[in-house]
Amino acid sequence: TSRGDQRLRQVSTVSRGLAERVVCMTVIGRQASLEELRLRLEDRWSPELHIDCFENRYNRGWFWLTVHDVEASKDRAVAELMADCGLTGAELVVFGDAENDLGMFGAADRAIAVENAVAPLLKRATEIIGPNTDDSVAHFIRDDWRRMAAARA
């Protein structure tokens, strides 16, 4: 990469990428070829991997196939970070817009979806805010902090 981080690089073949120790792999392509790859990966690695294939909502016609160990999920990462920082039991507020946020939404006290999120996420949200194109997450955080500060005063 331009920043010299050798962990982030394009590999010549998917099998080469799978032969290395990776946390997450994303393959971008057209639906038909990714669906075939998804089926092959699920057939071989299903119990060990979490695999999602979805259309990039911001670049229609291109699909993303994400592959990661079942232990490497957003909800597990958030739980570990909270424990490491001594925040176990603290309120967990998360934001999301895509399928890969569903697990994290299930673990949160407040699960906030942007209005242009995918339907399954909107159904699990405890609150829906404006679209991500309007900086709605940043505005929500600012307003929520102000509300909490006013309540403490």
pLDDT of residue 1: 42
Q: Which helix (H) or strand (E) holds 20?
A: none
The strand pair at 93-96 and 49-55 is best described as unpaired
Task: Outline where 88-152 has alpha helix (H).
Answer: 102-107, 119-124, 136-152
Instruction: Indicate yes or no: pTM above 0.85.
Output: no
10-residue mean pLDDT profile of the chain (153 residues): values are: 59 71 81 92 86 85 88 86 91 92 94 95 97 93 94 91
For residue 67, count CB atoms less than 10 angstroms from its CB and return exposed for 0-12, middle for 13-18, buried for 19 or more: buried
At position 43, the amino acid (one-letter code) is D
